[in-house]
Amino acid sequence: MSKPINVCVLGVGLAGLTFHVPFILALPQLFTLHSVLERNPKSDGGKVQQRFNISVKIHNSLENVLEDPEIELVVVATPNDTHYPFAKAALGAGKHVLVDKPVTATVEQAKELGSLATSKGLVLYAYQNRRWDSDFLSLKRLLNLADSHSEHIGSIVEFESHLDRYRKGLKGTWKDLPSAGAGALYDLGAHLIDQALVLFGRPQEVTAVVQNVRGIGNPNVDDSFTVTFHYERSPARHYPLTVILRSHPLSVRSPQLRYIVRGTRGSFVKFGVDTQEEHLRMISSPTAILKEEFGREPEYLNGQIEKILADDESINKTIWPTPDAGGYIELFQNLGAAIRAGAEPAVKWDEAQAVIEMIQLAHESSQKHATVAVPALS
């Protein structure tokens, strides 16, 4: 059995303590939480000890992390504008890197990191965890049904995906500041764009409205977006496809709308968001992640299918359940296998790079008030 990977988590805010440290601790056969970067700990054990009653080494500078020869994997869970320089520094020091989304602020930076990792033979992995949301897994199961299946909704002609909320005020954190990679599109949009690219591939055009709709805080920090991907008819796609990705901070709804999918023979509607973040905020021990109930949706969040019948008039309504729990842990299992056994990353770096490219094109479209073409891959 391979020796567990020594991990240092940079940052002990929401990302580090909620989305990374618990999974590292829950998989001791794959990882050892060697240390964290916490610049000003308020107690001897720092935030990790306060949260999980576990003592780990605390580094108070990135330089100390990079100079520590025992660290094999660096998790970049710091503010967005640090993702590129911290990941670059860690790769330069010979460490594998897991970097939170958005991986960088520009596609040029993402390409540079990818080339650096390749040249050094290191694993560079993007934390696109919402590929393992229970609602997304359920949606993929629906879209992968055979044409002959009774609940197949036909060729998809419109896909709408939301991450909305109701929040009148600012959070009072670094997310409110006008820095590289700031704003709702880089934050929530990175998830929605990644999921859309996984499902449908690269679009031909992008149209977007990105704005600070509440008119509070810095006007250059967007809090809402509507991004539309346009897919042309092709031999593999019998109908043009429109993909609409949205986030709004003044959405009064509970549960919030998640998906609307329109097909030539039916439609699918889903409310509510994956429960893993909620569960991760509440767990008292990382071992809770391994329990069967972790990440499971309540039945009232099941989606609904409306299917046109053979007479092209009657509609049949059925429930589309979400039987599988969300599985962020699978990302970490794959990451461990990629580092120790050379397994293929489930999230490939060029896919993370494409997300940043689409974000930049969306900003360009919004600034120009125009639809922009997506460059063909060279």
* Dihedral of the alpha carbons of 348, 349, 351, 353, in degrees to the nearest 10: 180
pLDDT tens column, 344-354: 999 999 999 99
pLDDT tens column, 180-218: 999 999 999 999 999 999 999 999 999 999 999 999 999
Decide if 370 contacts 359 (C-beta within 8 A): no
269 half-sphere exposure, CB direction, 13 A CA radius: 9
pLDDT computed for residue 88 by the predictor: 98
Percentage of residues of the chain with pLDDT beyond 90: 96
Evaluate if residue 8 carries a pLDDT over 90: yes
Domains and CATH numbers, the chain: 5-127 (3.40.50.720), 131-326+358-373 (3.30.360.10)
Mean pLDDT for the stretch of residues 234-253: 96
Order of strands, sheet of 31-37, starting from the edge strand that comes earlier in the sequence: 57-59, 31-37, 5-10, 73-76, 96-100, 124-127
Evaluate if residue 1 carries a pLDDT over 70: no
- Provide the H-helix boundaries in the chain: 14, 21-26, 46-52, 62-67, 83-92, 107-120, 134-143, 184-187, 189-200, 276-282, 328-341, 349-368
**Closest CA relative to residue 225, chosen from 256, 259, 251, 205:** 251
Mean pLDDT for the stretch of residues 101-124: 98
